[in-house]
Copies of this chain bind each other. A is one copy, B any other.
Amino acid sequence: MAADPVASLFSTPEMDSIFSASNQLRWMARFEWGLLSALEANGLAARRAASVLEALLNVEFLDLESLQEEAYRAGNMAIPFVRQLTTAVAKRSEEAARALHLGATSQDVLDTALVLQMSEAFTVIRRDLELLDQHLVRQIRTYADAALAGRTWLQDGPPVTLGLKIAGWLAAIRRHRERLDVAESCALVLQFGGAVGTLAALGDKGEAVSAALAKALDLREPDLPWHSHRDNLGEVGASLGLLAGSLGKIARDVSLLMQTEVAEVFEPGGEGRGGSSAMPHKRNPVGSAIILAAAARIPGLVATLLSSMVQEHERGLGGWQAEWETLPQIFRLTAASLARTVEIADGLEADRERMLANLEATRGLVMAEAVSASLYAHIGRDRAHELLQEASQRALREGKHLREVLLEMPEVCGHFSEGELDRLLEPRNYLGSAPRFIARVLGDSNAVR
C-alpha cells in the first residue's frame, strides 16, 4: 500500500493489515472453504471439494479491478467475489465448484469475514491493553507518593499523588478490559442464514451445515442469523468508544500537566518528537494530540453504528452498508490511540520538584480545606468553610500566605498551635486515603510501603 502519512497517524500497521481489502477477501475465501467443507460433510458437495479451494485461500487469483467495478453495480463485493471464486475453482474442478456458496447469501460471507477480522483485531487490542496495564502499574509504584495539586474545574485544590492519578487511569483501563472481553465474546459468532435467514436452500440440512461451518471457522453459533440485528457489533463499537474516551482522559491529563506553566508531567521525548516548524524550542504532546483526536472522532462513529441499527426486515438497506467502513475505522482509531497511550505510559516523565513547587505557589491556599476539616469539630463544618473562604480571599487580596492570615484570625488559631497549623498546611500530610486507594487498585496491600 502506498504511504499515506495522515491516514497512518490514525491507525496502526497491524490494524491496516487486518482491515485491508486483501485480508477481508482472504477471510471471505476462508468462509467459502468452511462452507464447502460443511456441505461436503453433509453430502451436499462433492468429496474433496473443499480441498480444491485450499490453494485459493490466498485470493491471489482475484482480479481486484474488475471486482471493484462489479461491486459498484452489485452494491456489495461478495457477489463478484463469489463469481470469480467459482470460476477459479471450476478451472480446477467443475465438480467442486458446483456447491460453492450453496445456501449462503452475500451478507453471510461479509459478516462472517468481519467477525473473523474482529477476532484478529481484538487480539491486538487485548495485547496492548495488557502492556498498558503493566506500564501503568510500574508508574503507579514509582509515583505512589509523589504529591501534586489535585485539580478540579481546572483549579488547583488539595494534593493528590501522581500514583493515585495513574491508579484512576488504571482502574478505568481494567474496567475496559473486562468490558471488551464481554463484547468480544458476544460478537464473535457465525453469520449464516442464506437469503432470508432460514437456510431454506439447504432443505432440512441447514442446522447441520451451520454447525459444521461454525466448527470449521472456530466460531460460536448464534440461535438464529442476525443479518438485521446488529446490537453485538454496536456493542463492540461502543465498548471501543468507551475505551477511547478513557484514553482521551489520560491524554487530556498529560497534556494539561505538560503545559509550560505547569510542567509536571511529560510525554516521552526523543529525536524529532513534537517539534514545531516555526518554534525551535517546542516539545509538543504529539501522542496526546492523536489520542485526543481519536476520542473526538469515535463518538460520532459509534452514533452512526447505533442509528444504523434500525435495519429493515430480514436484511436492511443503508444501515448495513453504513457499518462497512465505520466499524473498521473505530478499530483503527482505537488502536492508534492505544498504541500512543502505551508509549506515553511507558516513557512518562515527571518532575517531582515542580509538582511541589506548584503546590507551594498558591501560598497555602490549596490547603485551606485541610484547616477547615480540622476546625469543623470545634465550630461546625459550615462555619469552618466560611472562615476559610474569608481567609483565602484575604490572602489572595493582600498577597499573603494563608498561614499568615490564619494566625491573625482568633476563631481559627485559637484552636491550633502554630506547629499544628504548619502540620495542617503541609501537603504531604493531607493525602488521606490515597495510599489505600492505590493499594486497592493494585490489589496488593504492600503496594505502598
Contact with B along A345-373 (1 / 0, CB 8 A): 00000000000001001100110111011
Q: Is A434 an interface residue (CB 8 A)?
A: yes
Assess the B432–A194 pair: CB atoms within 8 A: yes
Assess the A157–B314 pair: CB atoms within 8 A: yes
Question: Given the known A-B contacts A153-B317, A160-B198, A196-B152, are A172 and B231 also in contact in the complex, defined by CB atoms under 8 Å?
Answer: yes
Question: Which residue of chain B has the shortest Cβ distance to A71 in the bound complex?
Answer: B5
Assess the B273–A97 pair: CB atoms within 8 A: no
A62 CA to B361 CA in the complex, in Å?
40
Assess the A196–B158 pair: CB atoms within 8 A: yes
A150 contacts which chain B residues (CB < 8 A)? 195-198, 313-314
Measured CB to CB, the closest approach of chain B to A396, in angstroms, equals 8
A395 CA to B381 CA in the complex, in Å?
49
Assess the A67–B3 pair: CB atoms within 8 A: yes
Question: Which residue of chain B has the shortest Cβ distance to A290 in the bound complex?
Answer: B321
Question: Given the known A-B contacts A3-B64, A71-B8, are A155 and B94 also in contact in the complex, defined by CB atoms under 8 Å?
Answer: no
Interface residues in A167-217 by Cβ distance below 8 A to B read 167-169, 171-172, 175-176, 179, 182, 186, 194-203, 206-207, 210
A152 contacts which chain B residues (CB < 8 A)? 105, 195-196, 227, 276, 279, 282, 284, 313-316
- Count this chain's copies in the assembly: 4
A10 CA to B72 CA in the complex, in Å?
10
Assess the A242–B246 pair: CB atoms within 8 A: no
Assess the B172–A372 pair: CB atoms within 8 A: no
Interface residue tally on A, bucketed by range:
35 or more
A197 contacts which chain B residues (CB < 8 A)? 150, 160, 164, 168, 437
A244 CA to B230 CA in the complex, in Å?
12
Question: Given the known A-B contacts A8-B68, A301-B300, are A292 and B317 also in contact in the complex, defined by CB atoms under 8 Å?
Answer: yes
Measured CB to CB, the closest approach of chain B to A266, in angstroms, equals 11
Assess the A440–B223 pair: CB atoms within 8 A: yes
A83 contacts which chain B residues (CB < 8 A)? 382
Identify which of A154, A168, A249, A258 gathers the most chain B CB atoms within 10 Å of its CB: A154
A199 contacts which chain B residues (CB < 8 A)? 432-433
A433 CA to B224 CA in the complex, in Å?
9
A276 CA to B105 CA in the complex, in Å?
8
12 contacts between A and B (CB under 8 A): A6-B77, A9-B72, A73-B274, A79-B275, A105-B278, A225-B437, A231-B246, A248-B310, A280-B385, A292-B310, A293-B321, A296-B307
